[in-house]
């Protein structure tokens, strides 16, 4: 009835129809739950669980969405959002299946090749060229993980309240780096 009276489609009308809604596109203009899950898997492939929890346990996917929304300008946000779809499409081309359907080994091999591509792009890009989307994802993964509770307290050495200043501390091979 609203459609007839206003002469147009009812905005948000799909919400009124039970079970009838459009499937969200990967990497749309707004992050959805599928994007967060996807980013968690990308991050966990970059920093998997070992003796310490992985990036997924630190909820790095959600962290990325906050950082992109709150700190990236529109141009950077667009690159990141489109990058989700590009990464998934490139994975389909490389493995014959989406990133989420790929095995952990396929994901690692694929992201290693994509990282190499991003580094080559970085070497040849002009100053005004945008960052590679995978570089954005990798940087946010590292930043999000090592500033999370899991990363700072379990992957790094951590003291909640700093003690006295010690400018020279012996380093033993294999020691964890300090959290700041």
Low-confidence residues in the chain, pLDDT < 50: 1-24
Contact assessment for residue 156 and residue 178, using Cβ atoms and an 8 Å cutoff: yes
pTM of the complete model: 0.75
**In this predicted structure, what is the pLDDT of residue 171?**
80
Contact assessment for residue 92 and residue 100, using Cβ atoms and an 8 Å cutoff: no
**In this predicted structure, what is the pLDDT of residue 178?**
74
Contact assessment for residue 79 and residue 131, using Cβ atoms and an 8 Å cutoff: yes
Domain that holds residue 78: 34-151
Query: CA–CA distance from 114 to each of 26, 46, 56, 75, 110 (Å)?
Result: 18, 12, 20, 21, 6
Contact assessment for residue 156 and residue 109, using Cβ atoms and an 8 Å cutoff: no
Residues in the chain: 180
Residue 120 in any domain: the answer is: yes
What total number of domains does the chain contain? Answer: 1
Residue 38 in any domain: the answer is: yes
Residue 22 in any domain: the answer is: no
Q: What is the DSSP secondary-structure string of 154-169?
A: IISB--SS--S--S--
Longest Cα–Cα distance of the chain, Å, equals 77
Residue 11 in any domain: the answer is: no
**In this predicted structure, what is the pLDDT of residue 25?**
55
Residue 12 in any domain: the answer is: no
């Amino acid at each position: 009835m609203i459609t007839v009276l206003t002469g147009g489609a009812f905005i948000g009308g799909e919400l009124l129809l039970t079970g009838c809604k459009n499937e969200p596109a990967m990497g749309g203009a707004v992050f959805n739950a599928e994007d967060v899950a996807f980013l968690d898997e990308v991050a966990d492939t970059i920093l998997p669980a070992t003796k310490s929890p992985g990036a997924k346990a630190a909820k790095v996917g959600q962290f990325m969405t906050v950082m992109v929304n709150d700190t990236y300008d529109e141009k950077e946000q667009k690159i990141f959002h489109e990058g989700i779809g590009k990464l998934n499409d490139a994975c389909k081309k490389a493995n014959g299946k989406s990133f989420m359907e790929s095995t952990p080994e396929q994901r690692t091999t694929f992201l290693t090749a994509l990282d190499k591509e991003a580094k080559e792009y970085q070497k040849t890009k002009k100053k005004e060229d945008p960052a590679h989307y995978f570089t954005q994802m990798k940087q946010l993964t590292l930043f999000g993980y090592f500033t999370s509770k899991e990363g700072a307290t379990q992957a790094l050495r951590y003291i909640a309240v700093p003690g006295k200043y010690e400018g020279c501390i012996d380093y033993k091979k294999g020691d964890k780096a300090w959290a700041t």
